[in-house]
Amino acid sequence: MAILDREEYIEQAYFFKTFLERLDEDLPSQEILTSIKEEILGTTKLPLALDVLRGEMLLKGRLCEGMALLKHYFAPFQTFVMKQAEEDRTKFDQRVALQILEREARYRAGNGNPAGLFVYQFECISRNRLGYDRGMTAISEDPVYNADWREWILRSRLQLGTVEFADLIYFRSEFYLEERRKLVDPHEVPTVPLLFSRQEGRIAKANRGKDPLLLFAALQRQLGYPAVPRSQSSRDLKLPPHLEMRLQRMEKRIQLLEAEAKGKLDLSEFYAQPRSFEDPPDMGEGISQ
């Protein structure tokens, strides 16, 4: 796979975003793919890719099957994320996966650097528990990373759990070399390729021994790295008003059944309250003489 043109990533971001929006409208995936194809810029390769995705969707019912066939177009990490979302046994939401792919494509279109892309992809794996082994392997196969990056990513995959993520960044940064030259040897030459800039190294050192999520947040604030979308918690979910009323009625019925089973059924709350002498008569009632 080669690095695609900027316009390809822009159209990819639009595709993932629009696909998610129309899924929320309960439209069939096949119809969504057909309609989006007409909206995509015809000078890109994405309309052809959507034909393949639609064909595989009709045959096997999954987007990831078509993406796996288009290894020259969709990055391995993109296919990996969608495959994890469409697995039967996973709790990873497809809607979150589409948001992840949209933000990744948008970052690529903005000429994002390899360091920022790697941190974003790694945080996606970490937050959603997608599996470091296959996830890091998929990341390493992305064409945006050169041979030095691929070697370091695969080596880091084996060090996770024994070495802090902040240390992995710090010891491969220009800031680490700068400190070594101040403390040890002003003419020291790095023995390994430096993959991260001075700023990234400073932020990583400041977050050593802390929760990696704090490191991710700091990199997003300071360097503009894309934020990883999070799944919506159950507390944030709101039912439509008519479903909310039906749910309340069902809960009330269950309470009455439980009270009846225990012999403590009390229907007094449903009795009509007698009207006091001072209450005025209803407007619809006649007034006796």
Does pLDDT of 185 surpass 90? Answer: no
| Banded pLDDT at 287 (limits 50, 70, 90) | very low
Q: What percent of the chain is modeled with pLDDT above 70?
A: 88
Higher pLDDT, 232 or 30: 30
**Arithmetic mean of pLDDT, 2-15:** 93
Domain limits of the chain?
Answer: 1-111, 113-231
| Banded pLDDT at 234 (limits 50, 70, 90) | very low
**Arithmetic mean of pLDDT, 204-211:** 94
- Inter-CA distances, 106 with 15, 112, 123, 240, 257, Å: 11, 9, 17, 33, 54
| Model pTM above 0.85 | no
For the stretch 129-171, pLDDT in tens is 999 999 999 999 999 999 999 999 999 999 988 999 999 999 9
Mean pLDDT of the chain: 87
Closest by alpha carbon to 196, among 229, 148, 267, 250? 148
How far apart, in whole angstroms, are the C-alpha atoms of residue 107 and residue 113? Answer: 9
How far apart, in whole angstroms, are the C-alpha atoms of residue 106 and residue 12? Answer: 8
Beta bridge partners of 160: 163
| Banded pLDDT at 231 (limits 50, 70, 90) | confident
Choose the CATH number for 1-111 among 1.20.81, 3.30.1070, 3.40.109, 3.30.1040: 1.20.81
For the stretch 77-132, pLDDT in tens is 999 999 999 987 778 889 999 999 999 999 999 988 999 999 999 999 999 999 99
Beta bridge partners of 163: 160
**Arithmetic mean of pLDDT, 216-236:** 82
